[in-house]
Amino acid sequence: MWFCRGGITIKQIKSEKTNGGQIHHPYDKSFKHLVGRNPQHFLAWLIPGATLKEVLPIEFQSRTFSVDFLGRMETDGDEELLHIEFQYCKVEGMGERLMRYNNLIRERHKCSVRSWVIYFIDKGEPEEPPLVLRYKNGQVAHVFHYECICLWKLDPAELRQVGREGLLPLLLLTRGNARQEVVDEIIHTLTKTGQEELLATTKVLASLVLPKSNESRNWLNWRFTMIGDILRQTEAYQDFLEEGRQEGRQEGRQEGRQEGRQEGRQEGELMAFKSILIQQTQLKFPIEAPQLKEIIEKMQDHDLLKHAAQQMVIIKTAAELWNMLTGEDRTR
């Protein structure tokens, strides 16, 4: 069937790459962690008065894709599903992707689904809902309604409301709030309200939006060095390690031998430590990141990788990390 959207004829809805060929943004895990920690806070923001009943699996193994958040809610006495996608910036075909996900979710759970997309960075105006598909003669074939939020247009007061502390890291992405004072405000409120698990996400988002000057980078590193012990104990940090260990255990089980299990665990931890280091070098030292990534990917020293991953919160320069990983002094 041929349809037209926006004057362009398309034969079928474009499908995004999925697991096995899925494109993952470096910040995907941080965004999913953000909503996963406080789903009711997001629900209170997006659909006031609704109550979260259950967080549902986001993986669709039979379809080899995943969504960013899916939950069962009750609103006005009716049960519906809430589906959220986080999008770094505008992308072509977002409406089609949401429609595809919405249909698959509805098919699986036999329940109506409300879909939202939340854009983080202003790189042009995204397409406006609803999505309208037309036949070549102009007749409407299908209309898909969804909700769209551009954080740079959002009134920051919406995120500062009591009971929505789980949204505070997003404050950095609202208009006029990519500032050091706001980072301080978020850190203070999160630690005061028992939301320390969101400190890692706060640092990721701050790295995205604060000025890319050495002065700003040094301040950010210093600020999170002040709370380094708290940060290293959070679930977000430990998730990287556990993910690697699980992969290692799975590899060991497949081997069916104790030796295989031990090697699998070690390999899994190596992968986890490498993942942490590569992500952090991309955030802290974007210019030197490609060279550092090459070094990290070739390393097999478990203890050195672990030590470097633990020290990333206090390492201030790329030269310092280089020295630690290679033993070569690049500060001279």
Q: Which of 153, 188, 217 is the last residue of a domain?
A: 153
124 and 176 in a single domain? The answer is no
135 and 36 in a single domain? The answer is yes
Q: What is the pLDDT of residue 281?
A: 82
197 and 241 in a single domain? The answer is no
Residue 331 placed within a domain: no
65 and 199 in a single domain? The answer is no
Residue 121 placed within a domain: yes
305 and 202 in a single domain? The answer is no
Specify the pairing of strand 113-119 against strand 147-150: parallel
Residue 290 placed within a domain: yes
Helix/strand/coil for 6: coil
68 and 142 in a single domain? The answer is yes
64 and 119 in a single domain? The answer is yes
275 and 304 Cβ atoms separated by less than 8 Å? no
| Residue 283 domain boundaries | 234-326
Residue 280 placed within a domain: yes
Q: What is the pLDDT of residue 265?
A: 65
27 and 117 in a single domain? The answer is yes
Number of structural domains found in the chain = 3
198 and 123 in a single domain? The answer is no
Residue 146 placed within a domain: yes
214 and 314 in a single domain? The answer is no
Q: Which of 205, 231, 257 is the last residue of a domain?
A: 231
DSSP string, 72-132: EEEETTEEEEEEEEEESS--TTHHHHHHHHHHHHHHHH-S-EEEEEEE-S-SSPPPPSPEE
217 and 279 in a single domain? The answer is no
Residue 332 placed within a domain: no
| 147-154, Cβ contacts within 8 angstroms, sequence gap of 24 or more | 147/46, 147/114, 147/115, 147/116, 147/117, 148/116, 148/117, 148/119, 149/46, 149/116, 149/117, 149/118, 149/119, 150/119, 150/122, 150/126, 151/118, 151/119, 151/120, 152/121, 152/122
Q: Which of 129, 153, 177 is the last residue of a domain?
A: 153
Per-residue pLDDT of the chain (332 residues; tens, 9 = 90+): 334 444 333 333 333 333 433 445 556 677 888 999 999 999 999 999 999 999 999 887 666 678 999 999 999 899 999 999 999 999 999 999 999 999 999 999 999 999 999 999 999 999 999 999 999 999 999 999 999 999 999 999 999 999 899 999 999 999 999 999 999 999 999 999 989 889 988 988 998 899 988 888 888 888 887 676 666 666 655 664 565 556 556 655 555 555 555 666 677 778 877 877 887 787 778 888 888 989 998 998 888 888 887 777 678 888 989 999 988 765 55
17 and 148 in a single domain? The answer is yes
